[in-house]
Structure 1
Amino acid sequence: MGNAQYKLYYFGFKFRAEVIRLIFEAAGKPYEDIRFEQSKWPEYKSMAPFGTAPFLQVTSGSQTLCLGESVAIARYLARKFKLAGKSDEEAAIVDMYGDHITDLMNAMVRLFSEKDEQKKKQDQEKFDNETLPKHLKNLEERIIQSRSGFVAPSGLTWVDLYLFNFLDLQGDKAQTLFNNFPNIKKLDEKVRSNPKIAQYLKRRPVTPF
């Protein structure tokens, strides 16, 4: 779809949509960032492929494509904008680590939605002491192996932006994590200092998550 126009629909926070916004920003591609209040969701829900947000509308001429599922959208745009890896093999590695980060994102969602305080406390401890260090250790080793400072040897891909967003969602806790994973810290700094991303971070709305 050449000369496509992109409209991204999501609530007024980062979470699942932010990796998509970061891909548009890193690629320098224009898009409409439609952030709506929770009260407006019923109006948009019928437009979404699975009745979930975020979703993306891609319009080219008389054709409109509507995509749901944040990671599927991220992969589609990354391929379009050359942020998916330089070969099929690199793209597969990037996807693999992307799925690894999705595991962490999903674990975070389960923590948010757990109502039983006792169980929540146990789950949080398990996440902080087992799940998170294990996944970050795998990513740290991958960055060392790739020698580019990123997950892929060829440089920046969408998975680096996804990792950056995940770390950003950790708030103050990220600083402690960086002490144990110096290469992840360097990757975070590289993404943050990318000129296009740096400009976006200055102007994006401040939200708790």
Structure 2
Amino acid sequence: MVHSNQVHASFDPVNAASYALGPAHKQSSFEVNYFNIHGFGQNPRTLLALAGVSFKSHTPEKWIEEEMAKTAFGVMPVLKETTVDGKVLEISESVAIEHYLGRIFGLYGDNHFEQTVIDQFYHSTSSLLDQIYSRKFGYKDHPKILEDNLKKLSETYVPTWAKYHEAHLQANGANGHYVGNKFSIADVRSANLIPVIQSITGETIVSESKTPAIWKLKTTLEANPSYAAYTETDEFKGHCKGNMEYYGF
């Protein structure tokens, strides 16, 4: 096996100072490289919209042939940030991107306690998402396996997730946030998961009437002016169309 000694720019310490620009990150421009669907690009785009910064989405025309090998891990999404001093920062892996955006735009709590709470609910939702993707998609030609998988999701994984998240959100005042009265990466991850859950269970588990505090995550996000403006763009509507064609929701 041949190992390359070349360090990808994402991991080169020479760029370390550019990651600590503080408020200057608001002056950066951003690009999310991903397919023309919501998928794993949805949360990074949502966080950028909430932050009210300039960003665009880009779907590489020759992803496999040309672009894949240029990324840190050969996967998308990839976030590219061009800073005010002209540095281009490139971050791979959706979870790393979301945590990075959360840190630089104040969407990751105000102290270690809040960050730890956010982390726990964020990763709880990530675990459910992993179960959904592993059990639902890829079984189109295996209807019996798919039926059993969806039953397990509907009877075990989704209800358990909903139980604990609803209880915490109610305790926080059912105000659409996991911590205090501020948006966080956990709010966004769960709010964007609701349509995915309903594509499997309908309104039998998660809905405005059954889980009002979870539902409040969705309506609070939708009411944010910066995010609401983003959802009216042709770009966002194109992602919705792509999602419906690819995933069915």
Q: State whether TM-score is above 0.5.
A: yes
CA distance in 2, matches of 1:118, 1:47: 40
* 1:126 match: 152
- CA drift of 1:36 comes to 4.3
* 2:68 match: 45
Q: Does 1:15 align with 2:45?
A: no
Q: Does 1:58 align with 2:84?
A: no
- CA drift of 1:62 comes to 4.9
* 1:84 match: 108
1:113 corresponds to which letter in structure 2?
Answer: G
Which structure's CA Rg is the greater one?
2
- CA drift of 1:195 comes to 1.3
* 2:180 match: 153
* 2:217 match: 187
SS of the residue 1:186 aligns to: helix
* 1:100 match: 124
SS of the residue 2:39 aligns to: coil
* 2:142 match: 116
Question: Percent identity over the alignment?
Answer: 21
SS of the residue 1:86 aligns to: coil
Instruction: Provide structure 2 residue ranges, at least 5 long, that are not aligned to the other structure.
Output: 1-17, 19-23
Per the normalisation by structure 1, the TM-score is: 0.90
CA distance in 2, matches of 1:106, 1:48: 23
* 1:70 match: 94
- CA drift of 1:200 comes to 1.6
Instruction: Provide structure 1 residue ranges, at least 5 long, that are not aligned to the other structure.
Output: none
The alignment of Structure 1 onto Structure 2 pairs a total of residues equal to 208
CA distance in 1, matches of 2:195, 2:71: 27
Q: Does 1:141 align with 2:189?
A: no
Per the normalisation by structure 2, the TM-score is: 0.76
CA distance in 1, matches of 2:138, 2:125: 19
Q: Does 1:26 align with 2:50?
A: yes
SS of the residue 1:147 aligns to: coil
- CA drift of 1:187 comes to 2.2
SS of the residue 1:25 aligns to: helix
| Contact 2:31-2:57 at 8 Å conserved across structures | yes
CA distance in 2, matches of 1:146, 1:42: 48
Q: CA RMSD in A?
A: 2.0
CA distance in 2, matches of 1:121, 1:167: 21
- CA drift of 1:165 comes to 0.9
